[in-house]
Amino acid sequence: MSHHGASTADTMEHAWSWKSTPGYKPVLLLIAAAVFIAIVIFPPSKGMVELVSRVNPSGYKMPSGCETILDAVNKKLRPDAFARSQKAEAGTPAASAEAEGEEQPLTAVDVARMAKITVAILLLAAFLWGTEALSLGATDILVGVLLYLFAILPINEISQAYMKDAVFFIFGILAVAVGVAKTGLDKRIGLILLSKIKSARAFAFIFLPMLAIAAGFLSEHALVALLIPVLMGVYKVSCKMNGVKKDPALAVFLLLGICLAANHGGPGSPAAGGRNAIMVGYLAEYGTPITFLEWMKIGFPFVPVMSVVIGAYMYLRLKPKFKVPDINPSEVVKAEVARMPKFGGKEAAMAVILILLVIAWVVIGEHAGLGGPTLYAVMAMFLFRIVRWEDVQNGVAFDVVGLYAAACAMGVALKFTGGALWLAEAFVDILPDFLSKGDGLVIGVSLLTTIMTNFMSDGATVAALGPIVLPMATLAQVSIWKVGLITSFSSSFANILIVGTPNNAIVFAMGKDPETGEKLVTVMDFFKHGLPVTILAMIILWFWTVLGYWRFLSFGA
């Protein structure tokens, strides 16, 4: 009877409760709703009204026939009223005979209120993505619902904004990662990389840089997830061979080493992760699209230098604390490789598709975008029966694809209403003078992004900051590419907290002793080693990248 009572209570609690669970936190939802409603009710600031009435404001691309953001919004949302008001200004007699009941143009206060509501939607979405007070997928939908509810964009434009090239690119990348994992190609790549590593020094200075470079093109999360079981084998064999029960320093060296190296592969190419896909979309939206090759020229040189720095840090900090004299991963991996089937069949087909995809990104990416070639690769996987639709359904995180779609839609709305420009101006105003122009602005933006990305997912950080920082570039007369890419690059520095990136969560969750189940990496380990590595990453980014080789590159935007 008591069992029955407990199950009834469980059902009741499952039905509705104040209790917080990931994806549903009612108290936080109520707080978010109260703040959002308050922002909506309060009138827009004088600064916002002045901004939408300003003639040709710097940082806003005017459509033809428009001089102010007010004109641009009226032209799109109230075309008839806008046309009549233009005729009236020109003194056309037909315009003065205005019929009763015809829709009136929006006023400066109306448009400023729309800009303010769009900023409120951005803040609400960033809060919900960061706290998981509402599930990721639900927040993705909520953005579209609110844009429609407050009539900020016409419904067809909201749909178009959700279906940008960047959205197809991220869906395609995640689907290709499913094919790579299903055929075992990722495992083979990981084992090949490890098979020549015969010491801790080689692991730090050869394997970690190779892993970081690979993470620039393949799914870093898949690489980390497949390497953990292999490295756990290396850890156990090394301990047993040396009669050591456990070696915490060795575990942190192996597990946190691959995590930090994979995190910093992000700047390598647009294919490194969803955060990069979002920025590709934002840059295209601003009329300054970037090709695969151009991104690599600007970001790739950062990766090998940073990965060697990570290897040096991990080796110097942890090797002296090892209980075992040294490790030899190649011995453990040889047995794994021997058990693998011969290379061929679907795995070989997947390897060819992957190589052709990278070539297509480099060669035709400029004309076809990045989404087009990626969808060709997905189609090829279906035709060669490498994956079935069920595999894609199970393996692709559609809520993450939705996050990029919602981010694109929000970016379009913020840019259109002038909300992004207002945020940018407000942020520039509070920056100290030396961080508000030139390379100082680029460094300031990287600092802001690095702080934010450690408290919320890298994708959500770029989604929230993109619309704010890109107009800042125009205001400060800095290349949009510089500001956009530094935002993407710095979002890779989520090393301190487990929530910052899936890599951290994967290592924390899977990093257990295979026999005892004991956790080998603690929350404190992330803080203890993640913080110094993040500081080193910013130093390398500023002095080697921004103030270093970027001086010799031409930025197209």
DSSP string for residues in 501-557: -HHHHHHHHH-B-TTT--BSS-HHHHHHHHHHHHHHHHHHIIIIIITTGGGGSPP--
The pLDDT confidence band at residue 59, using thresholds 50, 70 and 90, is low
Q: Distance from CA of residue 72 to its chain's centroid? A: 30
pLDDT band at 227 (very low <50, low <70, confident <90, very high): confident
| 282-328 per-position pLDDT tens digit | 888 888 888 888 999 999 999 999 999 999 999 999 999 988 888 88
Side-chain-side CA neighbours of 57 within 13 Å: the count stands at: 27
260 to 283, 295, 499: CA distances (angstroms) = 27, 22, 14
> Among 169-178, 220-229, 343-352, which is the least confidently predicted range?
220-229
16-47 pLDDT, tens digit each: 566 777 678 888 899 999 999 999 999 999 98
Structure tokens at 528: 């203890």
Q: What is the pLDDT of residues 112-139, one digit of tens each?
A: 999 999 999 988 987 887 777 888 888 8
pLDDT at 4: 53
Residues 6+ apart with CB under 8 A from 500: 453, 454, 455, 456, 457, 458, 494
Q: In Å, what is the CA distance from 29 to each residue of 22, 42, 496?
A: 12, 20, 26
Quick check: 267 pLDDT over 80?
Answer: yes
Predicted pLDDT of residue 111: 92
Q: How far is CA 278 from the centre of its chain?
A: 6
Picking from 496, 492, 488, 486, the residue whose alpha carbon sits closest to that of residue 532 is 496
pLDDT over threshold 60, residue 528: yes
pLDDT at 456 (0 to 100): 66
Residues 175/392, Cβ–Cβ less than 8 Å: yes
Give pLDDT, residue 93.
53
What does the alpha-carbon distance between residue 162 and residue 140 come to, in Å, rounded to a whole number?
A: 10
pLDDT at position 425 over 80? no
* pLDDT (0 to 100) of residue 91: 62
Q: Is the pLDDT of residue 10 over 60?
A: no
Provide the pLDDT for residue 97.
Answer: 43
CA end-to-end distance (rounded Å), the chain:
71
Domain boundary assignment for the chain: 19-93+100-154, 166-552
Task: Return the pLDDT at 261.
Answer: 94
pLDDT exceeds 70 at position 3: no
Determine the Cα–Cα distance for residues 466 and 456; give it in Å rounded to an integer. Answer: 15
Q: How far apart are CA 463 and CA 471, in angstroms?
A: 14
For residue 525, what are its two tokens? 């380990």
Neighbours of 154 (CB within 10 A): 13
| pLDDT tens by residue, 469-498 | 888 888 778 889 999 999 999 999 988 877
Question: Does 249 or 465 have the greater pLDDT score?
Answer: 249
Is the CB of residue 287 less than 8 Å from the CB of residue 411?
no
Report pLDDT digits (tens) over 88-111: 776 655 444 444 557 788 899 999
Q: Is 26 exposed, middle or buried (0-12, 13-18, 19+ CB in 10 A)?
A: middle
pTM, two decimals, is 0.68
Q: List 519's β-bridge partners, or say none.
A: 512
User: How many CB atoms are closer than 10 A to CB 106?
Assistant: 19
Which residues are registered as beta bridge partners of 24?
A: 21, 134
| pLDDT tens, residue by residue, 366-422 | 566 678 888 999 999 999 999 999 999 987 878 777 877 887 788 788 888 988 788
The whole-angstrom separation of Cα 420 and Cα 405 is 18
1 pLDDT exceeds 50? no
